[in-house]
Amino acid sequence: MAAYRIAPSILAADFGHMALAVRDAEAAGADAIHVDVMDGHFVPEISFGRRMTEMLRAVTNLPLDVHLMVSNPERHFEPFAQAGATTITIHAEVALAAALPGLLHAIRVAGAEPGLALKPATSPAILDGLLTQLAQVLVMTVEPGYSGQPFVPDVLPKLRALRQTAPPGLTLAVDGGIDATTIRRCADAGATFFVAGSAVYSPHRTVAAGIEALRLALG
């Protein structure tokens, strides 16, 4: 059986109680905390930065999965690694393909594990020759930049194709619209790491109930 991991997205939590949101997720058995960093340029919205990451690191020992939805991500590798990021994922669309190997190397030099994220319309062919340099591929199952969007089912063939070519040890992650209905479809397509926002942080259920529902759906 695949080792499935669930990473609550802190972007969906109550910003007035972030430390509590992380502690609740850890107590409920979350495997990591996903940190969406948005700059208002690569995506329209602005979220939070390295200081928030430092605070999260201070209240949990869980891996911090930092997703840089930013232009010029190389400016941020060292600050986020020093703040406690375990994994730093950048978007394949932020640079020419020839520049991506150097960016991934720079993430490792900074002290974090490198990941590449793909927008729904981005072909997995952009990863040719890069998979062995990656700790993680993050397939966006919504357009990056906004929480609460509906799941895009057209990404499932991309997941299947990546699973067929992924080397051992590469994490195949999904982010966007992941809930108790869509998580199983992604797992069947080859994903093993699931970023979930409103399915975990919701006024209608506890964090523990949200994570339990996801795990039950995975079977």
From the list 24, 39, 65, 175, the catalytic residue is 175
Question: Is 175 annotated in the active site?
Answer: yes
Strands (E), the chain: 5-8, 33-38, 64-69, 87-91, 113-118, 136-140, 171-175, 193-196
d(C-alpha 72, C-alpha 61), whole Å: 28
Catalytic (active site) residue 65:
no
As a whole number of angstroms, the distance between CA 165 and CA 162 comes to 5
Token code pair at residue 183: 């998580």
Between CA 70 and CA 40 the distance in angstroms is 8
Residue 206 and residue 13 in contact, taking contact as beta carbons nearer than 8 Å: no
Catalytic residue from among 36, 39, 65, 179: 36
Catalytic residue IDs = 36, 175
